[in-house]
Amino acid sequence: MSQPPFFHPVSGTVRFWVMVDDLLIGASIGKETLHYRYSPQMTNDDPLATYTQNAAEIDAAVRRRVATGSREPVMLRDWDVRAAARA
């Protein structure tokens, strides 16, 4: 079992795990990516809360990256969660 997602202040990322084909894949997403994609109008947004509110979409981005050959740990970038990627 994985640990819950958490904010890692040294790297400025939320770290989390996604189940992909019965494998638990470690991933992360930067606080800036979270801010600019999901809450650009806010000035005091919490990266962990933003991840939690958008986990389904963010986890799907990890699955897409793994499906195209990315290896663990998957570091999501801006283009992985851009608005056009929403399903």
Chain segment 25-44, per-residue pLDDT in tens = 999 999 999 999 998 888 88
45-70 pLDDT tens trace: 999 999 999 999 999 999 999 999 99
Q: How far is CA 52 from CA 7, 64, 67, 68, in A?
A: 11, 19, 23, 24
Flag whether pLDDT at 18 surpasses 50. Answer: yes
The residues with which 10 forms a beta bridge, in sequence order, are none
Is the separation of the CB atoms in 37 and 82 below 8 Å?
yes
Distance of CA 4 to the CA centre of its chain: 13
Token pair belonging to 76: 């999501």
Across 2-16, average pLDDT: 95
The fold adopted by the segment(s) 6-85 is Double Stranded RNA Binding Domain (3.30.160)
Integer Cα distance of 79 and 87 in angstroms: 14
Band (83; pLDDT cuts 50, 70, 90): low
pLDDT of residue 85: 46
Q: Model's pTM, two decimal places?
A: 0.89
Token pair belonging to 59: 């986890």
**Who has greater pLDDT, 20 or 82?**
20
Listed by start position, the domains of the chain span 6-85
